[in-house]
Structure 1
Amino acid sequence: MTIDDLELAIAAAEAGAAVVRSHFGTRLDRFAKGGGDFATVADIEAERAILDVLRSARPGDAVHGEESGRSGGGDRTWLVDPLCGTLNYAAGAMLVAVNVALRTPAGTAVAVSADPFAREVFWTAAGGPAHVRDREGQAVLVPSAQSVLVDVNLDPPFPNGPAFHPARLLADPAFGERFRPRVVSTTLAVAWVAAGRRAAYVTDGALRDSVHFTPGIALCEAAGCVVTGLRGEPLHTGAGGLLVAADAPTHAALLEIIERQFRP
């Protein structure tokens, strides 16, 4: 029986999540990647498990893995981030995500972000809503700004620096008056905006076809969040980056605060 792309992406993410769980709390060798970044054996083996699932079902598709790079050809590319939050994980924190998405010429066809420890899978397919599935069943994602929690990504690179640095948001009095900042350093927090657990998420960076951000962006778009670049422009244009908010008032308030941080 042929498995469809969404089922395949979920199966691949769950295979990676199982590996991530199996290595948690063990001694983890680190493999330097440059610039202070590193991978662990969990990253490498989780990616291998994901790729095994994808390649067995779609041998003709291309793959872009965080650890193994690009392979294959064609106009269908699987984006794989086997462990988003490696530093958290290596420090014994369960704040990580396993991300899998399929990009085609029409856009993101399917997107999955799995939380290995909460045993949750956030998923969407082109043209449909976003869902979360856990051990209790599944539900449609509904964004909400009620928490007033806003995640700010402080991991480099910061291509808009020195004119803009996201850390300056935290010092703006208006930010603290309206919102409560969080810095979890994993793109699981992007899925949380779609799920109503965060009011918004802010990051600098070039995110087109990102193995880290593509699934979360697709989830937020499918859930009906306001999704733009850092300065309110369409994604992947202008200053780039990402500002995703649960609703228009939250987006507008954050956009005003962000704009004040840009310096000539």
Structure 2
Amino acid sequence: MRQAKLPVDRNDVIAIARQAGQLTVEMQQRGLNTIRSKANAYDLVTEADVASEKLLAEKLTALDPAIGFWGEESNQPPDTELYWLVDPIDGTTNYASGVPWWAVNVALYRRTDPLLAVTLHLPYGEIFWAEAGGGAWRGWADGRVEQMRVSAAESLGAGLVGTGFPTHRGLHGDNNFREFVRISPLCRDVRRMGSAALDLAHVAAGIYSSFWEGFLNPWDVGAGLLLVQEAGGIVTDYAGNPYAFGAAGLVASNGLPGVHQVLLENIQAAREG
């Protein structure tokens, strides 16, 4: 694929993501005043989520006012051809609980096609980015930069697998418990870290051979879809079709049949059982 010509400078976007990330770190260090629930008691939002989204909206819009903005907290899908898709804090439960594992997620879309992805791993400062047709990259906090490639694992048992559970897990039977029980013995191990944005980045980086989760929102996965694809992987729904926003489930992997197809088959079997 020929590299897409971006309407903004990638480095400007990375700098803005870093500013939002630094804001979340500073607000956590000062102490959070407001932690409230949204859809249910396990779906949390803090004042830092709102502040981070406000900063991202203002500074990204300033780069090009013609580009729309869609953030988790405001949740107003734009009607523009180009738009930013943003999660101001992915992993809010971790963040609010003091677990050092959350992300700022920024993606630029043209309709349904991702053009640019930026995922900032906090509080460590590690950054993952990709441009359509330009590969996927990992920037370490010490300044090192390397191109990412998905795992070479040829079987599910040869690699780590990531997953997550929906916030409705105690309220609804479709909660990933059956899938987790079935898949856990089939792989090296399963990691449940609490940020789908970082899980997808770690598939792209070859740390996980694969990742599955249901009930994800566009802002959770908007950047990660491009990261995985540009690193040589694939992302599908639970039926094996190319993933689209709104699908009930997502599977990302290195694309090798012994990993992706086996994971799909076991997810399907668990859900039918």
Q: 1:238 to 1:85 in 2, by over 3 A?
A: closer
Q: 1:235 to 1:34 in 2, by over 3 A?
A: closer
| Superposition deviation, residue 94 in structure 1 | 1.0
| Superposition deviation, residue 186 in structure 1 | 0.4
- Show the counterpart of 2:68: 62
- Show the counterpart of 2:3: none
- Show the counterpart of 1:170: 180
Does 2:258 match 1:252? Answer: no
- Show the counterpart of 1:79: 85
Distance in 2, Cα, partners of 1:258 & 1:64: 31
- Show the counterpart of 1:235: 243
Which deviates more, 175-184 or 113-122?
175-184
Q: 1:77 to 1:219 in 2, by over 3 A?
A: same
Query: Is contact 1:62–1:70 with CA below 8 Å preserved after alignment?
Result: no
What TM-score do the two structures reach when normalised by structure 1?
Answer: 0.88
In the alignment, structure 1 segments of 5+ residues that lack a partner are none
| Superposition deviation, residue 69 in structure 1 | 2.7
- Show the counterpart of 1:39: 45
Q: 1:94 aligns with which of 96, 100, 110?
A: 100
Q: 1:217 to 1:237 in 2, by over 3 A?
A: closer
- Show the counterpart of 1:24: 28
Q: 1:69 to 1:255 in 2, by over 3 A?
A: closer
Deviations 1:130-183 (A, max 9, x none): 00112232110111155722111112458xx75x542212222x6314331111
- Show the counterpart of 1:143: 150
Deviations 1:87-112 (A, max 9, x none): 11111101111000111136111111
Distance in 1, Cα, partners of 2:175 & 2:18: 35
SS in 2 for 1:43: helix
Q: 1:218 aligns with which of 188, 205, 226?
A: 226
Paired amino acid for 2:210: A
- Show the counterpart of 1:155: 166
CA RMSD of aligned residues (A): 2.5
Query: Is contact 2:61–2:68 with CA below 8 Å preserved after alignment?
Result: no
Query: Is contact 2:162–2:210 with CA below 8 Å preserved after alignment?
Result: yes
Query: Is contact 2:161–2:190 with CA below 8 Å preserved after alignment?
Result: yes
Distance in 2, Cα, partners of 1:241 & 1:41: 29
In the alignment, structure 2 segments of 5+ residues that lack a partner are 1-5
Distance in 2, Cα, partners of 1:225 & 1:157: 29
| Superposition deviation, residue 199 in structure 1 | 1.6
| Superposition deviation, residue 244 in structure 1 | 0.7
Query: Is contact 1:228–1:242 with CA below 8 Å preserved after alignment?
Result: yes
What TM-score do the two structures reach when normalised by structure 2?
Answer: 0.85
Q: 1:137 to 1:3 in 2, by over 3 A?
A: farther
Query: Is contact 2:178–2:271 with CA below 8 Å preserved after alignment?
Result: no
Query: Is contact 1:203–1:230 with CA below 8 Å preserved after alignment?
Result: no
Distance in 2, Cα, partners of 1:239 & 1:65: 19
SS in 2 for 1:94: coil
Q: 1:41 to 1:8 in 2, by over 3 A?
A: same
Q: 1:14 to 1:130 in 2, by over 3 A?
A: same
SS in 2 for 1:69: coil
The number of residues matched between the two structures is: 257
SS in 1 for 2:206: coil
Which deviates more, 247-256 or 79-88?
247-256
Query: Is contact 2:162–2:208 with CA below 8 Å preserved after alignment?
Result: yes
Deviations 1:45-98 (A, max 9, x none): 111221221122112221011112327652111111010001111111011110
